[in-house]
Amino acid sequence: MRLQQEYDEVRDLVRAAQRSEDAQARVVLYLYENFGHYDWVGIYRLEKEDLVLGPWHGEKPTEHVRIPKGQGICGACAVTCKTEVVPDVNADARYLACFSETRSEIVVPVIKDGALWGEIDIDSSERSAFGPDDVEFLEAVAKLLADVV
């Protein structure tokens, strides 16, 4: 993995957390503070048919604190349980506008015991901000979270 050092740091943060909520909050803060192209980072958990916002970091809150399964990029990921990478949110009709600065988004499912538990959602003000290294790294982080949620 190209981002092995960052992965090791996240793994240590997750292991040091006493509760699932602490692990999630630590991961969100780490991602926000250590990746310059991650402008907003949040974790949504699935509650029945809705994704509900948990810990997040960014310059401002999103109005999308509850997203129905199937709606937007997050909702699409909740249906497919596959990572969604959107290089240009303005070219994707599924995008739920959160911030005028957002140009690209990545949503990574957190799968626990074969079922969707939630998602890591990241926005960037750069177009095409998320490449294969981000996908590989964030999918590995999602597996770490799955072990503690």
pLDDT digits 0-9 by tens, 28-42:
999 999 999 999 999
Listed by start position, the domains of the chain span 4-146
pLDDT digits 0-9 by tens, 55-78:
999 999 999 999 999 999 999 999
Q: Choose the CATH number for 4-146 among 3.30.70.2500, 3.30.230.10, 2.60.40.420, 3.30.450.40.
A: 3.30.450.40
| Average pLDDT over every residue of 17-29 | 97
Contacts 24+ apart (CB under 8 A), 22-29: 23/145, 23/148, 23/149, 24/54, 24/55, 24/145, 24/149, 25/55, 27/120, 27/141, 27/144, 27/145, 28/55, 28/56, 28/57, 29/55, 29/57
Radius of gyration of the chain (CA): 14
pLDDT digits 0-9 by tens, 43-52:
999 999 999 9
Structure pTM? 0.96
Q: What is the pLDDT of residue 25?
A: 98
